[in-house]
């Protein structure tokens, strides 16, 4: 039996949405182990990363190690675009699982936009969507209590199943939930324990919302 060939950039690009084929094909293939810090907040860079396989997490942290997660991205997403104006990186990005990216410089991206002008609108739309998410996150932090932010997170991730329950496929630890909503892990643990005891959710085999979550906790 012939040995399996390692996938190359051309192979991986074919798995992306068509709009990203030509862009990713211009990049350099790089692989990162789980836990690798790909982008460090505050540094300067002129590279755009198109995620081909795996998963990354965008976050900020303070001197005490407290973390705020801005998003988790998978194949077909790209990141690093916020520093293409020459400014510092606005967040750190870490490999949440082993991943492979097509890495493009600002010059390569400029060449792609010259060849495919429509991509400029896709890039603008992506930046606008992420700015909208950041605005919503800031609004939630200011106007909602911890419980309200947890409910908002669950509602955004849950997918309705055939039996009427809603399943969150992404495996979230209490620490990860806490970092996404800006609170302590202990607070999340107490909240989850109460909701499970009240029959609102189940953590057996994944996080499942069994019925509508209460308006207040």
Within-domain flag for 126? yes
Are residues 20 and 50 in contact, defined by beta-carbon separation less than 8 angstroms? yes
As a whole number of angstroms, the distance between CA 188 and CA 157 comes to 17
Q: Where are the beta strands (DSSP E) in the chain?
A: 28-32, 37-39, 47-53, 56-61, 67-73, 78-79, 92-95, 99-105, 159-160, 166-168, 201-202, 207-209
User: What integer is the mean pLDDT of 139-160?
Assistant: 87
Could you tell me if 66 and 30 lie in one domain? yes
Q: Give, to the nearest 10 degrees, the angle between helix 146-157 and helix 174-181.
A: 110
Same domain for 138 and 151, yes or no, is no
> Is 4 inside a domain boundary?
no
Q: Are residues 171 and 77 in the same domain?
A: no
Cβ within 8 Å of residue 35, ≥6 positions away: 94, 95
Dump pLDDT digits (tens) for 161-185: 988 889 998 888 998 899 888 888 9
Question: Where does a domain end: 96, 113, 142?
Answer: 142
45: number of CA atoms within 13 Å, CB side?
21
Give the domain-ending residue among 121, 142, 163: 142
Tell me the per-residue pLDDT of 195-204, one tens digit each, with 9 for 90 and over. Answer: 999 999 998 8
Q: What is the CATH number of the domain that holds 127?
A: 2.60.120.10
Q: What is the value of pTM for the model shown?
A: 0.71
Contact (Cβ atoms closer than 8 angstroms) between residue 81 and residue 126: yes
Domain residues for the domain of 185 are: 145-209
Let me know whether 153 and 125 are in one domain: no
Q: Say what the pLDDT of residue 94 is.
A: 95
Whichever domain contains 178, its CATH number is 1.10.10.10
**For residues 81 and 120, is the Cβ–Cβ distance under 8 A?**
no
Asked if residue 216 is part of any domain, the answer here is no
User: In the structure, what pLDDT confidence band is assigned to residue 6 with cuts at 50, 70 and 90?
Assistant: low
What domain count does the chain have?
2
Which range, 32-46, 65-79, 122-136, has the best average confidence (pLDDT)? 32-46
Residue 1 falls within a domain, yes or no? Answer: no
pLDDT band at 7 (very low <50, low <70, confident <90, very high): low
On whether both 40 and 114 belong to a single domain, the answer is: yes
Q: What is the pLDDT of residue 154?
A: 92
Task: Count CB atoms within 10 A of the CB of residue 127.
Answer: 14
Confidence of residue 205 (pLDDT cuts 50, 70, 90): confident
b/e burial code for range 11-47 (CB count within 10 A of at least 16 → b): ebbeebeeebeebbbbbebeebeeeeebbeeeeebeb
Instruction: Look at 6 and 48; give whichever has higher pLDDT.
Output: 48
Which pLDDT does position 2 carry in this prediction?
Answer: 45
Residue 27 pLDDT: 92
pLDDT digit string, tens, across residues 79-123: 998 777 778 888 899 999 999 999 999 899 999 999 999 888 888
Q: Which residue has the higher pLDDT, 187 or 9?
A: 187
């Amino acid at each position: 039996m012939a040995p399996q060939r390692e996938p190359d950039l051309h192979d991986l690009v074919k798995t992306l949405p068509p709009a990203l084929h030509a862009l990713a094909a211009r990049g350099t293939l790089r692989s990162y182990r789980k836990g690798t810090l790909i982008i460090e907040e505050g540094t300067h860079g002129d590279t755009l990363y198109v995620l081909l396989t795996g998963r990354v997490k965008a976050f900020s942290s303070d001197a005490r190690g407290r973390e705020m997660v801005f998003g988790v991205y998978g194949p077909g997403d790209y990141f690093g675009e916020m520093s293409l104006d020459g400014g510092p990186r606005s967040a750190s990005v870490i490999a949440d699982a082993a991943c492979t990216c097509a890495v493009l410089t600002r010059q390569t991206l400029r060449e792609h936009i010259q060849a495919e002008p429509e991509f400029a609108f896709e890039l603008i739309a992506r930046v606008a969507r992420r700015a909208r998410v950041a605005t919503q996150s800031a609004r939630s932090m200011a106007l909602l209590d911890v419980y309200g932010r947890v409910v908002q997170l669950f509602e955004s991730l849950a997918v309705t199943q055939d039996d009427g329950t809603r399943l969150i496929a992404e495996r979230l630890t209490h620490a990860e939930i806490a970092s996404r909503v800006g609170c302590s892990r202990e607070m999340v643990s107490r909240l989850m324990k109460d909701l499970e005891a009240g029959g609102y959710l189940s953590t057996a085999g994944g996080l499942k919302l069994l019925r509508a979550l209460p308006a207040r906790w």
